[in-house]
Amino acid sequence: SSSDNLNIVWTGYGKKNPVMIFKSETILNKKYMNMKTVGERYHMAYKFTNSECKIIRNILQSHGFHEIHPNSSDYNLVWSNGHLKPFTLRSMSEFQKINHFPRSYELTRKDRLFKNIQRMQQVKGFKHFDFIPQSFVLPGEYQDFCSMYLKDKGPYIVKPVASSRGRGVFLVNHPDQVPLDENVIVCKYIASPLLIDGFKFDVRLYIAVTSYDPLVIYLFEEGLTRFATVRYEKITKHIRNQCMHLTNYSVNKKSDDYVRNDDPDVEDYGNKWSLGALLRYLRTEGKDTAALMMRIEDVIIKTIISVELPVATACKMFMPHRGNCFELYGFDVLIDENLKPWIVEVNLSPSLACDSPMDLKIKSNMLCDLFSLTGLVCHDPMVKTIQQSRRNLEIASKLARSKRPTSASSYSQIANQKKSESKNPTTAGLNSEEIKIFRRVKEEDARRNGWVRIFPSADTWDTHSQFLQFNTTHNLMLHQRLYPDR
């Protein structure tokens, strides 16, 4: 039917695997055509573990998926809010996907993130990795913190090691104010943030990683700008005023000064703007936003490269098939008055709550495009292998046609395709695994919609390959084949 062609693309060797394309209109526009047919025909299923998420449920159900029990293994997609336990990966079939990589906490736990970037500062040079505020993990590094304090009086910001949404975060002026009975991370407070109309803000960017070996990173074209609700002053008497120093939406929406924005098409009103609105505003102020975005992309790539070794190693150990894992990270970036971006933190499960129409618009576009990018194969999860499901379809269509057996002709077809792939200059000389990797990235590129691939891109081999640590040839192969003229 016509809606099938709208939301299926054919992928893989011989273009035999149907992959679903997701349309945010199914959520944003109630009159939009029915997109359930394909998902229902293949009995596609999803499950939540550790949490439920309304917008994910809405998107999947409007595309014909049904929800199954968290213990069931007959799923196409698992959406989990917590860390991935490696053993859950072991039994995954090729068509199944989960929204985390093993050991992602290397990036999303504040103490691990800092340690990984600190390691890169030592190994690859401080100047390349100078985009995270100096931090100490307490109580272990209390002495180091005290000696730093003698040189630099702060203020410092204290955060629990593993929490999010501004919970348990406060500012201190003196080491005595830091509790030593729990694990916290103490960071140098960035005292000269860029202000808009006197207000401090930070930016939430959505990053998708579809593979750690080779490393493939996408940045979503739209993000959120979150403002503090009280004008910023650099005086220490205000240190207790959380609403001035923290831009977390969860902190500020409780403030009486919080201004809501109820119109999805107005992107620069109230305490939450879109990223696009911020960049337009900065351009009118004469700021070089292209250079700013390049710097932001640079620090995002380097942040992910700093965990590439442990995560790629875990993938090699635990992930049964290349495409099983993908991940959506929420990067919080603070821009200082010199237009230098600082990584504040990386969120494992960025908030998908939609408190305003603009939120709903940005997040539903982002998530639908994420599911399309990820490449969910249209496949009945009761049938465990893709080959089996293809065989069932072929048998069914043969019975319907009951013509002569097509084995001989299909063999020659496959042989011809193999021949043409070996002659194809972009894949010549690659082994079958490399061809698979290359084909997958090219196919992702055709389905990326609002996602922009920031690694690999034409320049990243020159600028960032020196920082890669997981020793494989896949990154080089991918750069060479995608950008043969470089």
Whether the CB-CB separation of 209 and 326 falls below 8 Å is answered with yes
119, 175, 183, 204 from 142: Cα distances, Å: 19, 8, 11, 31
User: pLDDT at position 241, please?
Assistant: 66
Pairing of strands 66-67, 45-49: parallel
Q: Is the pLDDT of residue 16 over 80?
A: yes
- The count of residues in the chain is 486
Tell me the two tokens of residue 194.
């860029």
> For residue 208, what are the CA distances in angstroms to 291, 315, 422?
22, 16, 31
Indicate whether 443 pLDDT > 70. yes
Question: What number is the average pLDDT over the span 1-9?
Answer: 70
Where is average pLDDT lowest: 94-103, 114-123, 175-184, 219-228?
175-184
**Across residues 207-225, what is the average pLDDT?**
98
The more confidently predicted of residues 419 and 196 is 196
**How many Å apart are CA 326 and CA 205, to the nearest integer?**
17
Q: What pLDDT does 179 receive?
A: 85
The mean predicted confidence, pLDDT, of the chain is 88
pLDDT at 343 over 50: yes
Closest CA to 175 of 148, 195, 206: 148
Which residue, 356, 369, 20, 58, is CA-closest to 221?
369
The tens digit of pLDDT for each residue in 296-311 reads: 999 999 999 999 999 9
Is the per-residue pLDDT at 376 higher than 60? yes
How many CA atoms within 13 Å lie on the side-chain side of 315?
Answer: 25
Phi, psi of 105 (to 5 degrees): -60, -15
Which whole number is the average pLDDT over 401-426? 53
244: which residues sit within 8 A by CB, 6+ positions away? Answer: 200, 228, 230, 231, 232, 233, 238
Give the per-residue pLDDT at 86: 84
Residue 111 identity (one-letter amino acid): D
Model pLDDT, residue 33: 82
What confidence tier does 410 reach under pLDDT thresholds 50, 70, 90?
very low
Non-local CB neighbours of 469 within 8 Å, separated by 6+ positions = 305, 308, 309
The whole-angstrom separation of Cα 475 and Cα 212 is 10
Q: 316-329: per-residue pLDDT in tens?
A: 999 999 999 999 99
* CA atoms lying within 13 Å on the CB side of residue 278: 29
Mention every residue, 6+ apart, whose C-beta is less than 8 A from residue 211. Answer: 322, 437, 440, 441
Q: Find the range with the poorest average confidence among 33-37, 157-161, 367-371, 414-418.
A: 414-418
Task: For residue 123, give both structure tokens.
Answer: 């190994």
Q: What integer is the mean pLDDT of 242-253?
A: 60
| CA–CA gap between residue 392 and residue 295 (Å, rounded) | 51
Q: Is the pLDDT of residue 397 over 90?
A: no
pLDDT digits (tens, 9 = 90+) for 170-209: 889 899 999 888 889 999 999 899 999 999 999 999 999 9
Task: Decide if pLDDT at 394 tops 80.
Answer: no
Region of residue 14 (phi > 0: left; psi between -120 and 50: alpha; otherwise: beta): left
| Maximum C-alpha span of the chain | 86
Q: Which residues contact 8 (CB under 8 A, 6 or more apart)?
A: 18, 19, 20, 21, 38, 378
pLDDT tens for residues 450-471? 999 999 999 999 999 999 999 8
* Partners of residue 136 on adjacent β-strands: 186
Give dist(CA 303, CA 54) in Å, integer.
30
SS3 track for 66-118: EECCCCCCCCCEEEECCCCCCHHHHCCCCCCEECCCCCCHHHHCHHHHHHHHH
Q: Which tens digits make up the pLDDT trace of 124-180?
A: 999 999 999 999 999 999 999 999 999 998 889 999 886 666 668 888 989 999 988
- For position 151, what pLDDT does the model report? 93
Q: Is 315 helix (H, G, I), strand (E, B) or coil?
A: helix
pLDDT tens digits, residue range 57-90?
999 999 999 999 999 999 999 999 988 888 889 9
Q: Tell me, what's the pLDDT at 408? A: 44
pLDDT band at 393 (very low <50, low <70, confident <90, very high): low
Backbone angles phi, psi at 138, to 5 degrees: -105, 155
Residues 418-434, mean pLDDT to the nearest whole number: 77
| CB neighbour class for 272 (10 Å; exposed up to 12, middle 13-18, buried from 19) | buried
Angle of helix 54-62 relative to helix 357-374, nearest 10 degrees, comes to: 60
Q: Is the pTM for the entire model greater than 0.85?
A: yes
Residue 453 CA neighbour count, 13 Å, CB half: 22
